[in-house]
Amino acid sequence: MKHVLIIPDGVADEPQHALDGRTPLQAAHIPFMDAIAAAGIIGRTDNVPASMPSGSDVGTMTLFGYDTLKFHTGRAPIEAAAQGIELHDGDWAVRCNLVTVTDGQMTSFTAEQYPKDAGRELITLLQKDQCGDSHWKYQTGVSYRNLLIYRARGAAAPFSTDTHSTPPHDITGQNINAHLPTGPGADELLQLMERSRQLFANAAPNLARVQAGELPATQTWLWGLGQRPALQPFAERYGVRGAVITAVDLLRGMGKLIGWEVVEVEGATGYLDTDYAAKGRAAIETLQRDDVDFLVVHVEATDEASHEGDTAAKLQAVERIDEHIVGPVHQWLKQHGDYRILVSPDHPTYLRTRTHSHGDCPFAMCGTGIQPNSPTTYDEIAAAASDVGFPEGHLLMGEFLKQK
């Protein structure tokens, strides 16, 4: 049997005044997601425990069937795995955003989607400045997303589980002072952030962007730190062989940590301009293989639209996911034997606040052995009316994969 999980990242939302009191899912034209709900069941899943910060690191680990209260150690070590960076005992990974801070406020947590090549120049500048410290190593990523690795090398790390840092996407437009790192090792992180501000002030890529009327990266923002999590391989846990299609390192890292193949798709960007149709085609090609029983297709665009507070972009993104991924993939599954398909976001991301939130996410699934519970649409309101819910979201995966 083939199983597919499609994740429209952060699509769950509130009713919008601009949409006549409807949520984006209610307002969007999503006939293929609605068809899954109509053919199967709709319900609610809470993927982010109240005691943990909301984000895709927690939400996707939960969706994949792992209890984050037991297994989650931080966001950065998951992204380190995506880059093939091995963390040893005592090592820590730290997420290193290139951001724009203006007059003490977080203007852009992406430095206006800072270009990859320019970002590489800034990270190289930082590493040259820190080359005397054998503990620290900067790692370039994609666009504004980078990593900072602390190599213990037999020494005790300055950090602990009491070290806290705020995701920069949670504080857009806010003063940063109340959100700076705290706890053990925070002083060291603050020193590194301050040093980046000094180095970036006259860096060539920033001067070029300012001259072009674009935002510079004024500093790094260090957050999401943690050590390598100990996750049981998915095939051992659930008895199926998995693969993941995604454009972001976080999901690549999660896939690698639990033994999945990461399928790269040309044109997949992790942003609103991603090639939705290419992801749909790649999904079908991957499902045709005998060595893949379970496939995850993750799309970041809906989450990015919420971070930008762009209602129209969020509607367009979810409609493209429906048209180019959900529709073709479900049609292929129906023509090729037993299957199950599940659609669920990892967490809500509100247009109003432009950030991740806690709370229920609507899910819909149908396929072999799933008895319909009479929904007609896929949205938050229909899910709230359902008697099916998973307050511990990590239990949903076992139900989805259970043979009936």
Q: Mean pLDDT across the chain, nearest whole number? A: 94
What would the mean pLDDT of 148-165 be, rounded to a whole number? 90
The tens digit of pLDDT for each residue in 86-108 reads 999 899 999 999 999 999 999 99
Q: Are 13 and 23 in contact (CB under 8 A)?
A: yes
Using the predicted structure, report yes or no on whether residue 403 has a pLDDT greater than 70: no
DSSP string, 200-228: HTT-HHHHHHHHTT-----EEEEEEEE--
What would the mean pLDDT of 296-307 be, rounded to a whole number? 96
At 404 the pLDDT is: 46
DSSP string, 105-160: EEEETTTTT--HHHHHHHHHHHHHHTTT-TTEEEEEEETTEEEEEE--TTSPPS--
What would the mean pLDDT of 184-204 be, rounded to a whole number? 95
Q: Cα(5)–Cα(295) distance, rounded to whole angstroms? A: 6
Q: Where residue 131 falls among pLDDT bands split at 50, 70, 90?
A: low
Using the predicted structure, report yes or no on whether residue 132 has a pLDDT greater than 70: no
The tens digit of pLDDT for each residue in 203-238 reads 999 999 999 999 999 999 999 999 999 999 999 999
What would the mean pLDDT of 241-267 be, rounded to a whole number? 95
Question: Against a cut of 0.95, is the pTM above it?
Answer: no
Give all domains of the chain, ordered by start, each with its CATH number.
Answer: 2-71+231-401 (3.40.720.10), 82-226 (no CATH)
Using the predicted structure, report yes or no on whether residue 347 has a pLDDT greater than 90: yes
The tens digit of pLDDT for each residue in 181-190 reads 999 999 999 9
